[in-house]
Amino acid sequence: MPADRDREVDVAIIGAGPAGCAAALTIATYTDLRVTMIERDITANKPGEMLPPDVVQLLEYLDIGTACLADGHKEAHRILAAWGAPELADRSLLFSGGRPAWHVDRTLFENQLRDAAQKRGVDQWHANLSSAVRTNTGWLLSGSDGDKVKTRFVVDASGRAARVARRESCPLHASDQTFAAWRIFDLPASRDHKCAGATMIEAVPDGWWYSSGLPGGRLAVAFFSDLDLFRDQRVNQAGGWQRMLRNSRHTATRLTEASHASAIQTRSATVRYFARAHGRDWIACGDAALTVDPLSSMGISLGLLTGIHAGRLAAAACGGIEIADSGYSSEIRRLATEHFETRRRFYAQETRWPDYPFWARRSSAAPETAPAAEMTA
């Protein structure tokens, strides 16, 4: 138990991913409020490493600038897609408008954000949040280490766990039950055929493949499909994953020279949002408020953006401003509606397999209130 932890803070942030760090950095940079950030696993191997060009402005607002991107990450200039047609087409300009996107080392990127927060005085509490209970003056948070912290305001940046948004029984709107199974291969750019580390997307009858070069001569490869197919085909096991890979053309070719594969990890990639994402003494940001399709590569930058908003509103609430009418939840709903429509149009471009369940399920419009099951494989 850390001996010097403030037992009372103004703002407690659950989760130190991109959204939690953005909220912490916003408060620590622009106010004098006391902040603690609770995180259960700082070594987690999270998926997702492609960042859009706009991330630069968000990092500048957080006073980190591009220095952190220059250190251990690399610019991404090429995106190839076999989507709607069997051949690979260059989609780079569609994605970035000519400016470079970024391939980041995800673990390093999050460590850089946490370090910056720590240097600005944010207390880092390494524990699993076991309970969050309302009191007369705010909240009492308890950690798995037995420590307790009183706080006036809670920022829920706990990712898909959405600890507070669920506790507050906020209505959840979810799309289909997309799942991802990914692994990391060793594949230096020199052995990566014509792709040389580029990001590649390839549609197949049962879903789609994503592969992308990582700093350090590695390649992240993920398969996205539906939960029922994952279960039927045992995609979370090496045999099932390889069987699915055989249905691809470009991704399988790309992997012919790859060596050493990491274990397969799976995670829900369902697109969903909470129709109410804040109250007078709490706010949800990042995946805890709204998750987007990994196809968009927007999850991390949206986490930073909504984390910044959450940090500002947390500070306002601590300053005595009523935030219930701030419009934050309606902004989350607007972003979600826009995303669902863009996503629907993008999936509609793939018309080769209308009778396959994966594509048939994605041809309809917006989702309705249908909480998605979370697979724990």
Ligand X SMILES: Cc1cc2nc3c(=O)[nH]c(=O)nc-3n(C[C@H](O)[C@H](O)[C@H](O)COP(=O)(O)OP(=O)(O)OC[C@H]3O[C@@H](n4cnc5c(N)ncnc54)[C@H](O)[C@@H]3O)c2cc1C
Residues contacting 168, CB < 8 A, separation 6+: 276, 279, 282
141 binds ligand X (CB under 6 A): no
Tokens in use for 225? 């499909």
218 binds ligand X (CB under 6 A): no
Q: Select from 15-23, 71-79, 112-120, 338-346 the region that touches ligand X (CB under 6 A).
A: 15-23
Exposure b/e, 173-209, CB count within 10 A at least 16 = b: bbbbbbbbbbbbbebbeeebeebebbbbbbbbebbbb
85 binds ligand X (CB under 6 A): no
Sole binder of ligand X in the list 33, 34, 36, 48 (CB under 6 A): 48
Tokens in use for 231? 């279960």
Sole binder of ligand X in the list 41, 60, 71, 341 (CB under 6 A): 41
| Residue 11 and residue 153 in contact, taking contact as beta carbons nearer than 8 Å | yes
- Give least dist CB 130 to ligand X, A: 7
CB closer to ligand X out of 157 and 219: 157
Sole binder of ligand X in the list 28, 38, 174, 332 (CB under 6 A): 38
250 binds ligand X (CB under 6 A): no
d(CA 152, CA 7): 12
- Give least dist CB 354 to ligand X, A: 25
d(CA 68, CA 232): 42
39 binds ligand X (CB under 6 A): yes
Tokens in use for 342? 């863009």
Closest CA to 20 of 47, 40, 5, 48: 40
- Give least dist CB 268 to ligand X, A: 7
DSSP annotation of 35: E
Closest CA to 103 of 197, 171, 241, 6: 197
37 binds ligand X (CB under 6 A): no
Sole binder of ligand X in the list 9, 11, 13, 20 (CB under 6 A): 20
Sole binder of ligand X in the list 56, 108, 140, 161 (CB under 6 A): 161
d(CA 275, CA 165): 10
CB closer to ligand X out of 136 and 310: 310
Q: Residues 256-295 vs ligand X: string with x where CB under 6 A? A: -----------x-x----------------xxx-----x-
| Residue 200 and residue 81 in contact, taking contact as beta carbons nearer than 8 Å | yes
d(CA 196, CA 221): 14
CB closer to ligand X out of 50 and 195: 50
- Give least dist CB 338 to ligand X, A: 16
Radius of gyration for the chain, computed over Cα atoms and rounded to the nearest angstrom: 21
46 binds ligand X (CB under 6 A): yes
CB closer to ligand X out of 18 and 367: 18
- Give least dist CB 294 to ligand X, A: 4
197 binds ligand X (CB under 6 A): no
Residues contacting 32, CB < 8 A, separation 6+: none
CB closer to ligand X out of 47 and 240: 47
Q: Select from 13-21, 185-193, 272-280, 366-374 the region that touches ligand X (CB under 6 A).
A: 13-21
Crossing angle of the two packed helices 106-119 and 18-30, in degrees rounded to 10: 20
73 binds ligand X (CB under 6 A): no
Q: Which ranges in 124-192 belong to alpha helices (H)?
A: 163-167
162 binds ligand X (CB under 6 A): no
Residues that bind ligand X (CB under 6 A): 14-20, 38-41, 44, 46-51, 128-129, 157-159, 161, 163, 180, 182, 222, 267, 269, 286-288, 294, 297-301, 303
